[in-house]
Amino acid sequence: MSLPPIVVFDLDGTLAETAPDIMRVLNLILVREGLAALPLERARELVGAGVRVLIERGFKVSGQPLDPATLERLFEEFMEIYAQDTAGSSHLFDGVLGALDALAGQGYALAVCTNKPVRHTKLMLDHFGISSRFAAVAGRDSFPYFKPDPRHLTLTIAAAKADPARAVMIGDSRTDIATARAAGIPSICVPFGYTDVPIETLEPDLVIQHFDELVGAIDRVFKSPPRTSLTA
């Protein structure tokens, strides 16, 4: 039996608006360290590269040096605080549920590939009630590799038992685009996620404005000539 095609989603800024909870925990950490809380509007430039980088960026914006030992201590504190409430102020973007239903109805396998730790990823998907929709859920710590290493994406596809030759990555950042490009897989991006520059300037295969456009966009990229993998 042939393997199904697959749509792989990033999580933060792609499937869900998660910045309010991420910034809430970051600000708890900053205030504990004697620094001022940062406004939610800074999330687009801070979120998206993992928790350690988030903390580093938060300290840099605050003009405070951060040594490696302190970073590791604050990382562990962040992880525990965040696990207590990963999504209380977060929400799925409009149209996500309909898009997931439509893709599943057309025979696509679905997966999540995120640099969020897998523990917190599963807690969040459970909160939204969508865990069962995904054939594979891979976080930063699921494999020895994480985005932008293309093996994070290709191993997620393998875990979902899907066809890598009929795969597409849905994301919101340069990390998602670079990962997909290195794997020779097309990328479709949303413009409302966490990126420090307009997503169009990073040249994904397509940009959609709403999840209602996703099924049609996937049809378009699969009709386009395939990319050559940069890792081949």
**Hey, what are 70's tokens?**
């302190």
Statement to judge: residues 78 and 101 lie in one domain:
no
The answer to whether position 34 is within a domain reads yes
**Hey, what are 162's tokens?**
């899907």
Q: What are the average pLDDT values for consecutive 10-residue runs of the chain, which has 232 residues?
A: 94 95 95 93 80 91 91 95 93 98 97 94 96 97 95 98 97 95 96 90 95 96 61 32
The answer to whether position 167 is within a domain reads yes
In the 8-state DSSP scheme, what is residue 142? S
The answer to whether position 230 is within a domain reads no
The answer to whether position 178 is within a domain reads yes
> How many angstroms separate the CA atoms of 31 and 51, rounded?
17
Q: Known catalytic residue: 205?
A: no
The answer to whether position 1 is within a domain reads no
Alpha carbon distances (Å) from 166 to 4, 107, 163, 169, 173: 8, 12, 5, 11, 21
Q: What is the pLDDT of residue 179?
A: 97
Q: 10, 172, 176, 205: which one is catalytic?
A: 10
| Structural domain range at position 133 | 6-17+90-223
In the 8-state DSSP scheme, what is residue 12? B
Statement to judge: residues 128 and 215 lie in one domain:
yes
Cβ proximity of 78 and 29 under 8 Å: yes
> How many angstroms separate the CA atoms of 11 and 13, rounded?
6
Q: What is the pLDDT of residue 226?
A: 54
The answer to whether position 228 is within a domain reads no
Handedness of CA 95, 97, 99, 101 (dihedral sign): negative
Cβ proximity of 216 and 171 under 8 Å: no
Cβ proximity of 179 and 153 under 8 Å: yes
Statement to judge: residues 167 and 218 lie in one domain:
yes
* Count of domains observed in the chain: 2
Q: Which of 36, 60, 84 is at the close of a domain?
A: 84
Statement to judge: residues 73 and 142 lie in one domain:
no
Give the CATH number, domain containing residue 169.
3.40.50.1000
pTM for the whole structure? 0.91
For residue 110, the surrounding DSSP H or E stretch is strand 109-113
Q: Which of 33, 62, 84 is at the close of a domain?
A: 84
Statement to judge: residues 118 and 205 lie in one domain:
yes
Give the CATH number, domain containing residue 29.
1.10.150.240
Q: Which of 42, 63, 84 is at the close of a domain?
A: 84
Cβ proximity of 74 and 29 under 8 Å: yes
